[in-house]
Amino acid sequence: MSNSPQTPGIAPARLDAEEVARNFSDLHPAYDDHEAMVAADRCYFCYDAPCITACPTSIDIPLFIRQIQAGHPEGAAKTIFDQNILGGMCARVCPTETLCEEACVREAAEGKPVEIGRLQRYATDALMARGQHPYERGEATGKRVAVVGAGPAGLACAHRLAMKGHDVVIFDARPKPGGLNEFGIATYKTVGGFAQAEVDWLLKIGGITVETGKALGSDLSLDALMDEYDAVFLGIGLQGVNALRAEGEDKGGVADAVDFIAELRQTSDLSSLPVGRNVVVIGGGMTAVDAAVQSKLLGAENVTIAYRRGRDRMSASRFEQDLAASKGVRLIFNAQPKTVHGNGSAAEIEFEYTRDGANGLEPTGETFRIAADQVFKAIGQTLDGAPNGLTLDGNKIAVTGAGRTTRDKVWAGGDCASGGDDLTVTAVAEGRDAAEDIHTALMG
């Protein structure tokens, strides 16, 4: 090992490969059979269960857990996939602490919810391990639908359309399908190449063609797609990144957190990935937490998340915050970046404290500096490259009902569309529901 956490600047191999591999292993390891039985047994099979309501895809959670109890995890998986074809990924990445598990009555009763996410993983893993796909393509309708974006929204939409018998072509600008499942989600949430395996498994239904390296805007136009296909679904996510608006933002060492994470997810040898000795992440969401935690896991000596508002406003859940803290990440609240200092490259970053004033957030005038040879911006992604002619709602594609845009024959869902949280599971729900609506429109 040539470098250490104390090596100055941005450097690879701060930890040996073995330690890095250990650091990036499964955050919540899979249950074995007995653990799953014990965990499943805690479910009360609530009437009209609150967890179902809390799940954006409305999985019948008590039913699938009962199927696990009864020794039938594959049946449990079917119950899950009926509602959420990316139930395997969602089991790994959903912030369950703010969704189903928050609603679990055992959370209210004893602060220990049934571990729904891990049970869901147990069930979906069991069925996926069989290598077969549990659904068949519906009888061919002769209708053709173009799906732009192979993220969770696009994949869920395509799968449901295939179930209905439509022919689907998915176009994606990137070289691989999966969207942020492949390029964004933290490594330790989806180990072992799960994202691609899941896409391959999903496509086994047939009737779906994936064309990568095809970007809407440059390689394709919406009008051309509308001419060629009976309907178009847009699931293009958020490709833009908000600017920091701090002095010195253009200095070396300042980068977008999502780019760092994408590179991290694609690299075949994590220990070769350079990371700063002093890393500062600016933002308060999952992206900020993931960039910070993974920097630390790569061997950065000091990692800090600075968020401009108070802890309670942070969009990363308390679980995510505690995860960061447990890995040694320092969290600073009520501090906004003012200037990145350094000669060509970042060396320090200066913050100013904030408080809630009459007209919103206001600076207090008090500043402080921390060492920073790498600064990650994680202050939110924005819609970038939405096709012309679609009405926007704020900075997302305006949709009504199940993803209907203002243009006929064009639906949208997932992060790029208005409404709903920017979560994998929400994208799945929106893609699925748009597919149902497209089907009704095409066959009506």
Partner 1 sequence: MADLSTNFVGIKSPNPFWLASAPPTDKEYNVRRAFEAGWGGVVWKTLGLDPHIVNVNGPRYGVVYGADRRVLGINNIELITDRPLETNLEEIKRVKADYPDRAVIVSLMVPCEEWAWKEILPKVEDTGCDGIELNFGCPHGMSERGMGAAVGQVPEYIQMVTEWCKANTHLPVLVKLTPNITDIRYPARAAHAGGADGVSLINTISSITSVNLDTMSPEPSIDGKGSHGGYCGPAVKPIALNMVAEIARDPETAGLPISGIGGVTTWRDAAEFLSLGAGSVQVCTAAMVYGFGIIKELTAGLSDWMDEKGYTSIDQVTGRAVPNVTDWQYLNLNYVTKARIDQDACIKCGRCYAACEDTSHQAIAMKPGRVFEVIDEECVACNLCVDVCPVEDCITMERLAPGEVDARTGKVVEADYANWTTHPNNPSAKAAE
Ligand X SMILES: Cc1cc2nc3c(=O)[nH]c(=O)nc-3n(C[C@H](O)[C@H](O)[C@H](O)COP(=O)(O)OP(=O)(O)OC[C@H]3O[C@@H](n4cnc5c(N)ncnc54)[C@H](O)[C@@H]3O)c2cc1C
| Pairing of β 278-282 and β 392-393 | unpaired
Please tell me what DSSP assigns to residue 313.
G
432-435 contacts at long range (C-beta below 8 A, 24 or more positions apart): 432/57, 432/83, 432/84, 432/85, 432/156, 432/157, 432/159, 432/160, 433/402, 433/403, 434/157, 434/233, 434/402, 434/403, 435/156, 435/157, 435/158, 435/159, 435/160, 435/161, 435/164, 435/233
CB atoms within 10 A of CB 2: 8
Minimum CB separation from ligand X for residue 150, in Å?
5
Residues in the chain: 444
Tokens 């009888």 appear where? Answer: 139
Are 204 and 133 in contact by the 8 Å Cβ rule? The answer is yes
**Nearer residue to partner 1 within complex by CB, 106 or 341:** 106
45 binds, among partner 1, ligand X, none (CB under 5 to 8 A by kind): partner 1
Q: Is 153 in the site for ligand X (CB under 6 A)?
A: yes
44 binds, among ligand X, partner 1, none (CB under 5 to 8 A by kind): partner 1
Minimum CB separation from ligand X for residue 129, in Å?
23
Q: Alpha-carbon torsion 320, 322, 323, 329, what sign?
A: positive
**Nearer residue to partner 1 within complex by CB, 62 or 285:** 62
| Among the listed residues 146, 131, 123, the one whose alpha carbon sits nearest the alpha carbon of residue 65 | 123
Residue of 56, 87, 88, 184 interacting with ligand X (CB under 6 A) = 184
Q: Is 368 in the site for partner 1 (CB under 8 A)?
A: no
Q: Is 223 in the site for partner 1 (CB under 8 A)?
A: no
Total chain residues near partner 1 (CB under 8 A)? 15
173 binds, among ligand X, partner 1, none (CB under 5 to 8 A by kind): ligand X
Site string for ligand X, 246-285 (x = CB under 6 A): ------------x--x------------------------
Q: Is 171 in the site for ligand X (CB under 6 A)?
A: yes
3-state secondary structure at position 395 = coil
185 binds, among ligand X, partner 1, none (CB under 5 to 8 A by kind): ligand X
Which two three-digit tokens encode residue 309? Answer: 């508002």
Q: Which stretch binds partner 1 (CB under 8 A): 35-43, 138-146, 196-204, 283-291?
A: 35-43
Q: Between residue 47 and residue 86, which ones bind partner 1 under the rule CB under 8 A?
A: 47-50
427 binds, among ligand X, partner 1, none (CB under 5 to 8 A by kind): ligand X
Tokens 């965990």 appear where? Answer: 39
**Nearer residue to ligand X within complex by CB, 226 or 416:** 416
Q: Is 199 in the site for ligand X (CB under 6 A)?
A: no
106 binds, among partner 1, ligand X, none (CB under 5 to 8 A by kind): partner 1
Q: Is 299 in the site for ligand X (CB under 6 A)?
A: no
Give the integer Cα–Cα distance in Å for 420 and 410: 19
Q: Is 286 in the site for ligand X (CB under 6 A)?
A: yes
Q: Between residue 109 and residue 138, which ones bind partner 1 under the rule CB under 8 A?
A: 109
Q: Is 45 in the site for partner 1 (CB under 8 A)?
A: yes
Half-sphere exposure (CA, 13 Å, Cβ side) for 132? 7
Q: Which stretch binds partner 1 (CB under 8 A): 103-111, 194-202, 287-295, 394-402?
A: 103-111
CB atoms within 10 A of CB 142: 9
Q: How far is CA 160 from CA 59, 181, 357, in A?
A: 16, 19, 48
Give the integer Cα–Cα distance in Å for 308 and 338: 11
DSSP annotation string for 101-140: HHH-HHHHHHS----HHHHHHHHHHHHHTT---S--PPPP
| Among the listed residues 314, 312, 310, 308, the one whose alpha carbon sits nearest the alpha carbon of residue 287 | 314
Site string for ligand X, 207-246 (x = CB under 6 A): --------xxx-----------------xxx-x-------
**Nearer residue to ligand X within complex by CB, 221 or 367:** 221
Q: Is 87 in the site for ligand X (CB under 6 A)?
A: no
Residue of 27, 46, 255, 390 interacting with partner 1 (CB under 8 A) = 46
**Nearer residue to partner 1 within complex by CB, 66 or 144:** 66
Tokens 């072992």 appear where? Answer: 192
Minimum CB separation from ligand X for residue 186, in Å?
6
Site string for ligand X, 408-427 (x = CB under 6 A): ------xxx-----xxxx-x
Binding stretches for partner 1 (CB under 8 A):
34, 37-38, 41, 44-50, 105-106, 108-109
Binding positions for ligand X, rule: CB under 6 A: 93-95, 148-154, 171-174, 179-180, 184-185, 189, 215-217, 235-237, 239, 258, 261, 286-287, 290, 385, 414-416, 422-425, 427
